Structure 1
Amino acid sequence: MMRILLLVCASLMMSCGHVWVSPNDQAASQAERDAQEKELNKIEEVLAQEKYAEALAAFQAFQAEYPQSGFFMAARLGEAQALEGLGQWTQAVAIEREVSLITLKEQPEIAALALYRLSFTYREIGEDSKAAAALLDAQRLGNYLPMQITKVEIPARLAAFYASQGRDKEAASYLNDAEKGVEKVQQEKPEGLAKDWLPRAYYQMGSISINQLGAENFSEFIRGERVVQVYLLKVLKLNDSKWSPKALNYLNEMYRELDRLVVAETSHQNQIQMGGAFFDLIEGADLFRPLEGQRQTTYEKDFFAMLSLMRKKTEELLYSTRGGMELTEESKKLNSLKRAGRVKADSLLPHEKKSTISLPLKVVPTEDPNL
């Protein structure tokens, strides 16, 4: 979850008092504003510790006690983030929409952050088009967001959306923007940039909600995840104490849910189609498996061990028919689905060597006539 005050204040290189104080709050003394800011920061500490129920109650209490505060809408947005953590997506969407509209003119920093959060909550309730629209709106307010969100996370999430829709050219363009954004942030190191910005950004770039995943949108999900799962694999390699286990948990949960959907499909034809798409995702991840002798993190070892089991299981499904005879081992070898591949080295990650796999074809970004 985002630290609202610290994140926005750091990105703007301004004092929180200046950012959040509204005209209605001018009568309040500086001491009162400082006290309110301090209290809200404490609540955000609770939110950052993922104590969502406690944070929710505290944000609501803050709003009740300080209804005229210039920090009121910041607390309102904090309430929405606590609701996200509790999985109450519909309520979070309603608040984030309200906040984005109310703060757009006088507090665009909050509006921009609310729109960015909307892109996640819309996705959780299955409103993918609205999620993409929220990302584009947040991008238009990019001057009020940290560089790593505007230049890295938003383009990558848009790339996943366009890929899921089969719009490969747009997906490649946004993915190219995201890669350039990583380089830009790395070079400029804007003030207030957290030490763990890179694994956090990669995690946000690669994780697509599986809350609404089902057989009806299975292929679309696979197309989107194939574009961005590489970022989760980069998080595993970074060996970050917070974000690497989060990435591993997400990958494990995602692959197991996809496998469950394939196995549960009752139509043999659909099952084979879904299994084939799933195998492509597995194979895409397998291209980034460290070679024998290369250094691996514990997170990589765990993930690729799981991936090997998934690959074997899916291959067996694709080579057999429900209730029919499985092909012989010789036939499997002759018709093997395995293809050789190597990992593309990432200059931002340590202990990697150059290899031949590249990201999707880079396309010079152009104005999208469809938006």
Structure 2
Amino acid sequence: MRTQVAIIGAGPAGLLLGQLLFKAGIDNIIVERQSGDYVLGRIRAGVLEQVTMDLLARAGVDARAKAEGLPHEGIELLFKGARHRIDMHGLTGGKQVTVYGQTEVTRDLMEARSAEGLATIYSAANVSLHDFDSRRPRVRYEKDGQTHEIECDFIAGCDGYHGVSRASVPADAIQTYEKVYPFGWLGVLADVPPVSHELIYANTERGFALCSMRSAHRSRYYVQVPADERVQNWSDEAFWDELRARLDPEARERLVTGPSLEKSIAPLRSFVAEPMRFGALFLAGDAAHIVPPTGAKGLNLATADVGYLSRAFEIFYGEKSASALDRYSDLCLRRVWKAERFSWWFTSLMHRFPETGAFGQKIQEAELDYLVHSHAASTALAENYVGLPLEDF
């Protein structure tokens, strides 16, 4: 087989890249080691920045997100038993975020790709990348007992933190930075109405909590737990009791509980790999960076990466210039590190750390009090939360 761009990974980053390239007339094949049902079954976050919504529009797959997504113009910070609203819309000149589940984004992209008859190879075993330091890179995989090979101009590694793309890079050619947090998020998905029409981020002496949603009838709630906690230790009843204990009286009264559809513990880490290009291999999304979910940046950073990458490929094939490809890694990393900083800061502000004790709790509360009463501080939070703009090549 021969294609212009071989994309490794059929998550939202790989699918969005494929759709953007298709719209630009650039041939591509997606190779995914899991089945389509497995990819679609993964439960992930769903707060979309305007940059992401704009890229979905460019890809022609934004209709359902616009029709069913929930526009959010603010968030609420809960500390010392009271909630304080951050007016993102007012502080940023009219910007907002859209709550729309990542599973739904993936579904929309899958259906669009299928409708166009574009090549996606699911359940590809033993995927390997070859000669991406040359002008004839190749992707090899096994399926149905046979070995297949794709010749291409470029490889886009969109296969996540544990994927083959970053692992294929020689160790002396890449540098990684990592911070592992001493806690995780115990999350519950339930078909119950949200406790509030906007997200509530709670800082309490018992630890962090987040009240989020996927729709007007499906909610996603989280509580901070130790990093070594096990999900088997938590019944639905125990989770709801703990969440109540971390909410303000009004939210506690409004909370509707029900059986969990999904329950899991997500560890928190910050991770960046530099650079994001190695010859004809380009990393994007979780293959290159991980952020704590506190700032809702994971999916949005991935879409920004493929926004840059798709544009760079357009320039390469349309203008016969490699200048944008040469700038890809630097442009992405500028934005990535700003998002890493924001996610680290917001995580540090909202969570209870084992070593800080009562003094650390008071410092956090003082900073939160300053944050909600300072126009400049509130604006900085709002600007980062709605998402920084993409730079031009």
TM-score bracket for the superposition, by shorter chain length: under 0.3
More strand, by proportion: 2
- Tell me which structure has the larger Cα radius of gyration: 1
Normalised to the residue count of structure 2, the TM-score between the two structures is 0.22
More helix, by proportion: 1
Identify the structure with bigger relative contact order (alpha carbons < 8 Å, sequence gap 6+). 2
